[in-house]
Structure 1
Amino acid sequence: MLQVCLNGRRGPGDSAAVPVVPGALAEAAAAAVAAGAEDVHVHPRTPCGSDTLSPRVLAETLTAIRAVVDVPVGVTTGAWAEPDPVRRLARVRSWTVLPDHASVNWHEPGAESLAAALLDRGVAVEAGLWSGTDGPARFLRSSLAPRVLRVLAEVTDPSPDTAEDTARALLATLAPLARSPHARPVLLHGEDGSAWPVLRLALSLGLDTRIGLEDTLLLPDGTPAVSNTRLVAAALAGSAEPGASAPETVSA
Structure 2
Amino acid sequence: MAVSLSVSVSLNGGRAAADGGAVPLSPPDVVESALGAVAAGAGEVLVHPRTPCGRESLSPRVVGPLLEAVRGAGVSVPLSVSAGIGAEPDPAGRLERVRSWTVLPDRAVVHFAEPGAEELAEALLARGVAVDAMVPLGGEGAGPGAEAGAVEPAPGALARFLAWPVRDPGRIRLAVELAVADPALVAGLRWLPPVPLLLFGREAAAWPVLRLAARCGAGARIGVGDVLHLPDGRPARSNAELVSAALEAAGTETAATTSSR
* TM-score exceeds 0.5: yes
- Counterparts of 1:121-132 in structure 2, within 5 Å, are 121-131=127-137, 132=139
TM-score by length of 1: 0.89
> Which deviates more, 129-138 or 232-241?
129-138
- 1:212 to 1:40, Cα distance in 2 relative to 1, 3 A: same
Higher relative contact order (CA 8 A, sep 6+): 2
- Counterparts of 1:179-198 in structure 2, within 5 Å, are 180=193, 183-198=194-209
Distance 1:172 1:221 in 2: 28
- Counterparts of 1:107-186 in structure 2, within 5 Å, are 107-131=113-137, 132=139, 133=154, 134-146=156-168, 148-155=171-178, 157=179, 163-165=180-182, 168-169=184-185, 171-177=186-192, 180=193, 183-186=194-197
What is the CA distance between 1:175 and its match in structure 2? 2.9
Distance 1:94 1:83 in 2: 17
What is the CA distance between 1:244 and its match in structure 2? 3.9
> Residues 122-153 of structure 1, C-alpha deviation per residue, up to 9 Å, x if partnerless?
00101111124211111111112435421111
2:54 pairs, out of 49, 53, 70, with: 49
Q: What letter corresponds to residue 10 of structure 2 in structure 1?
A: C
State how many pairs are aligned.
234
Distance 1:123 1:244 in 2: 37
TM-score by length of 2: 0.86
What is the CA distance between 1:173 and its match in structure 2? 4.4
Distance 1:108 1:213 in 2: 23
1:221 pairs, out of 232, 244, 255, with: 232
2:77 pairs, out of 43, 49, 71, with: 71
Q: Which runs of 5+ in 1 are unaligned?
A: 158-162, 247-252
Q: Which runs of 5+ in 2 are unaligned?
A: 1-5, 140-153
Q: Which runs of 4+ in 1 moved over 6 A?
A: none
The answer (yes or no) to whether the contact 2:56–2:86 under 8 Å persists in 1 is yes
What is the CA distance between 1:47 and its match in structure 2? 1.0
Tell whether 2:12 aligns with 1:12. Answer: no
> Residues 145-186 of structure 1, C-alpha deviation per residue, up to 9 Å, x if partnerless?
43542111112x2xxxxx112x632x3443322xx4xx1110
After superposition, the CA RMSD in angstroms is: 1.4
Distance 2:26 2:160 in 1: 35
